[in-house]
Structure 1
Amino acid sequence: MRFTAQGDVGVGPGAKKVLDVIAGLNPRLNLALGDFGYKAGLEKEFCGMVTGKLGGDFPYQLITGNHESNGEDGDIEKYVRCLPNKLPGLEGTYGTQWRADVPEQNPVVRFILVSPGIDFKNGGPLDYSRGSERWRWTAEAIDQARAQGIPWTVVGMHVPCFSLGEKSCQAGKDFTNMLIEKKVDLVLSGHDHVYQRSHQVGLGGRCSELVPANFSALCLTDTDGNLLQGSGTVFVTVGVGGVGLYNVENNDPEVGYFSAWSGKNRTPALGTLDVTATASELAARFVPAEGYSFTDSFIIQRK
């Protein structure tokens, strides 16, 4: 089962180049990780650009970013209407918080898309604090996937927690550590306009939690490109879906958590993450758009 993922898209030439890459890869679905048109009133133009490149029936699956969540630079409700859900069996509120197993019968991946750390029209962020309803919904979706024997669990959201770009831990330290504690295989985000992929990180022993803006080698569980499921979680930020890039800070205190990164000042590239999941392995690679050369890849093997 093949899927692609990226966020921070826009409607310019870069966005069209990335959509061309997606079309060429021919995935089963795409996860659009928020921040779409970047301006109010561009919803139909954005949707037309996507369907023009990928077709009206393609599952271009949305989770809101901060630019459309509160309505100031677009409206997630309008995006949801013109790029509706195409996955059978989806549960939750599409565009805001949802999950789906793919394929619906004998699934290989459970996708869990959530929206911590961004403001909505009511003036504040949704509550993903420890023990909240949305926290429990996420935790139960992860636990149920494992209980049902679904090989892979992928969580997607707009904001990252730790990053070499400009952003801080908007996803929340506790929520991020919960995903690690439950050994989610892959966590995807956008928001920072960079590409960055972590080593496998895990809790236990002398690593009780990951603390933002700090680094502890005790939380690293594997640091090469061939990883084993259950050893830890891989975090990938793919905020390079078409708009302008941010710099990466090579001396950031969190740099020790990362295996690969790209930004405006270091091998810049727009593009998409391309993931192929089977019952035995999850293989991912970064595919650059035309005119860029940066690449990255990793494999997680099932025990």
Structure 2
Amino acid sequence: MHFTAQGDIGLGAGAKKVLDVIAGLDPQLNLALGDFSYRAGGEQQFCDMVTGKLGTDLPYQLITGNHESNGEEGDIDKFVRCLPNKLPGLQGQYGIQWRVDVPEQNPVVRFILVSPGIDFKNGNPLDYSKGSERWRWTAEAIDQARSQGIPWTVVGMHVPCFSLGEKSCQAGKDFTNMLIDKKVDLVLSGHDHVYQRSHQVGLGGNCSELVPANFSATCLTDKDGSMEQGAGTVFVTVGVGGVELYNVKNNDPEVGYFSTWSGKNRNPALGTLDVTVSADQLAARFVPAAGYSFTDSFALHRR
């Protein structure tokens, strides 16, 4: 199967350029990783922009960002109404926390979309702390995919933990390490308006956990673009769906975890991640919008 993913979109010319790229790639579904209109009352305008570029049949699947989770610059409930779920078998609360296997019969990938680290209408974040109900829901969704023999597991959320942009570990250290410990294949995020792709990272041996704002080479399991499934997790931030880019910090203490990165001050590019998944391989590439040249590609292979 074939999907695209990006976050931090907006209503401007950049967003429309990225949607043109997605339309040309013709995926089976798109993961929109939060922060949609950046405008209170702009929900219908955003939905009309998306369907005008991509049509009404493409599953344009939503997970909330901080700009619409609390209702200040859009309301996730309104986005969900005008861009509803179109994937059969989805479980959970669409737009907030959900999972789905694709294809529905003989699936090759389980998507798990969650919302740690952002505030909702009551001013409080959802509880993804260790052992909480949402933590257990996520862990069980990962374990069940493994027990059912689904080849690949992809987790998506708005906020990253490790980043060379402006943001800190809003996703939470413990929650992030749980994803690594369970060997999730690919973790996607937005929030930081940069593109960044990690090396494959894993726990074990001399690496008991990854600690934000620090780097440990013992946590790296593979540093090239061709990686083996089960050795660790790849993290990709694709916060370049249309809005203004942030700078990347080449001297960030976490820089050792990353293979490549792009931001306002280094190889700037808007665009989308483009992913093709088979039973044996997950292959991904960054496809820039018109006027940009930065690219990236990597692959995970099943043992």
User: What band does the TM-score fall into relative to the shorter chain?
Assistant: over 0.9
Which residue of 1 is the match for residue 143 of structure 2? 143
AA matched with 2:229: Q
How far off its partner does 1:123 sit?
A: 1.3
Secondary structure of 1:165's match?
Answer: coil
Secondary structure of 1:196's match?
Answer: strand
Which residue of 2 is the match for residue 33 of structure 1? 33
Which residue of 2 is the match for residue 261 of structure 1? 261
AA matched with 1:51: T
Which residue of 1 is the match for residue 176 of structure 2? 176
How far off its partner does 1:57 sit?
A: 1.3
1:200-279 alignment runs, 5 A limit:
200-279=200-279
Which residue of 2 is the match for residue 4 of structure 1? 4
Which residue of 1 is the match for residue 71 of structure 2? 71
Task: Tell me how far apart the structure 2 counterparts of residues 179 and 56 of structure 1 sit (CA, whole Å).
Answer: 33
How far off its partner does 1:280 sit?
A: 0.4
Identity of aligned residues (%): 85
Count of paired positions: 303
Which residue of 1 is the match for residue 96 of structure 2? 96
AA matched with 1:6: Q
How far off its partner does 1:122 sit?
A: 1.4
**CA-to-partner distance for each residue in 1:179-205, whole Å, 9 max, x for gaps?**
000000000000000000000000000
Task: Tell me how far apart the structure 2 counterparts of residues 58 and 122 of structure 1 sit (CA, whole Å).
Answer: 32
Runs ≥4 residues deviating over 3 A: none
Task: Tell me how far apart the structure 1 counterparts of residues 109 and 21 of structure 2 sit (CA, whole Å).
Answer: 22
Task: Tell me how far apart the structure 2 counterparts of residues 114 and 240 of structure 1 sit (CA, whole Å).
Answer: 20
Secondary structure of 1:122's match?
Answer: coil
Secondary structure of 2:282's match?
Answer: strand
Which residue of 1 is the match for residue 153 of structure 2? 153
Which residue of 2 is the match for residue 196 of structure 1? 196
Which residue of 2 is the match for residue 282 of structure 1? 282
TM-score, with normalisation over the residues of structure 1? 1.00
Task: Tell me how far apart the structure 1 counterparts of residues 170 and 127 of structure 2 sit (CA, whole Å).
Answer: 12
Which residue of 1 is the match for residue 23 of structure 2? 23
Which residue of 2 is the match for residue 118 of structure 1? 118
Structure 1 gaps of 5+ residues are none
Task: Tell me how far apart the structure 2 counterparts of residues 257 and 272 of structure 1 sit (CA, whole Å).
Answer: 21
TM-score, with normalisation over the residues of structure 2? 1.00
